[in-house]
């Protein structure tokens, strides 16, 4: 099954984008080739661009506190597994404390590093990070893979609490929904939401069907149109019914 996700608001959209960047960063930083470490470093720069568009730290702290209060209210419920609940509460508390300890503006330690900012400025230009443009960066890429990895992780380290918070919040959000089976007749599906507030839509579909969802939604209506791709990958309307699994998530 392939899972597609659709955010209902800008806050969740930002978290999903950062989660995607974090996944890419974790993959490339564990590799050994200098070109792969170049991608890991430029991914950190992309993270800063996304973080700089919103007061994300404050939003994450508010959401963690709200989740802490909500989860704590389940302690008296005999149907809740106490050990698991306490473990989640401890993770939330630990992550919130680490987030609070972050000093200054997100990523300020990178903005204060003139060498990193010179690289960031050049990577904006297509092909701008060549050896004749950044000889010191070229020399750094000749260091051992372990040394480069250590440097990159040191630069990323102050951002770690933010991504820990995003991981917890998105995990709790995804677990809040209940999946239901649905069918898109002739490739189209529409459902009235009746003003209910949701934050995330998850759609799971058999990848062998070759159907790709195009999703649009607001608090009143959800519309999904399934497409397919021909030989040149140009999308076209999917012909036939499409069974899928739909999950609407909200804390």
Per-10-residue mean pLDDT, the chain, length 251: 95 95 98 98 95 81 90 81 87 92 86 95 92 96 98 96 95 93 95 89 94 92 92 84 96 78
In whole angstroms, give the CA distance from residue 27 to residue 36.
9
Return the DSSP state at 216.
E
Q: Cα torsion at 28, 18, 47, 11 (round to 10°)?
A: 180
Looking at residue 235, what is its pLDDT?
A: 86
Would you kindly state where each structural domain of the chain is located, as residue ranges?
9-171, 177-249
What are the C-alpha distances in Å from 7 to residues 40, 153, 206?
Answer: 26, 30, 21
Cβ–Cβ < 8 Å for 232, 178: no
Nearest to 98 by CA among 163, 23, 171, 14: 163
Looking at residue 229, what is its pLDDT?
A: 86
Cβ–Cβ < 8 Å for 18, 60: no
Selected from 3.30.70.141, 3.30.70.890, 1.10.3900.10, 3.40.50.2020, the CATH number assigned to the domain covering 9-171 reads 1.10.3900.10
Cβ–Cβ < 8 Å for 34, 148: yes
Selected from 2.60.40.10, 3.40.50.300, 2.60.440.10, 2.60.120.620, the CATH number assigned to the domain covering 177-249 reads 2.60.440.10
In whole angstroms, give the CA distance from residue 166 to residue 114.
28
Looking at residue 80, what is its pLDDT?
A: 78
Q: Which residues lie across from 235 on neighbouring strands?
A: 229
Looking at residue 53, what is its pLDDT?
A: 66
pTM assigned to the model: 0.91
């Amino acid at each position: 099954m392939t899972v597609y996700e659709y955010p209902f608001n800008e806050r969740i959209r930002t978290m999903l984008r950062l989660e995607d960047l974090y996944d890419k960063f974790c993959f490339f930083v564990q590799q050994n080739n200098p070109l792969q470490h170049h991608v890991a470093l430029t991914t950190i720069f992309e993270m800063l661009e996304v973080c700089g568009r919103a007061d994300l730290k404050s939003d994450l702290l508010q959401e963690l506190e709200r989740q802490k209060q909500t989860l704590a209210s389940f302690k008296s419920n005999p149907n809740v597994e106490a050990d698991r609940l306490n473990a989640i509460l401890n993770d939330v508390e630990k992550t919130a404390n680490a987030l609070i300890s972050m000093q200054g503006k997100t990523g300020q330690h990178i903005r204060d590093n003139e060498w990193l900012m010179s690289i960031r400025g050049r990577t904006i230009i297509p092909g701008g990070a060549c050896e004749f443009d950044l000889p010191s960066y070229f020399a750094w890429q000749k260091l051992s893979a372990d040394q480069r990895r250590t440097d990159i992780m040191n630069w990323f380290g102050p951002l770690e609490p933010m991504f820990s918070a995003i991981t917890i919040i998105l995990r709790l959000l995804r677990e809040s929904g209940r999946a239901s089976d649905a069918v898109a007749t002739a490739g189209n599906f529409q459902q009235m939401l009746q003003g209910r507030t949701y934050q995330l839509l998850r759609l799971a579909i058999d990848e062998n069907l070759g159907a790709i969802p195009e999703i649009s939604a607001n608090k009143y209506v959800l519309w999904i149109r399934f497409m397919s791709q021909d030989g040149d990958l140009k999308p076209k309307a999917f012909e036939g019914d499409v069974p899928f699994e739909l999950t609407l998530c909200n804390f």
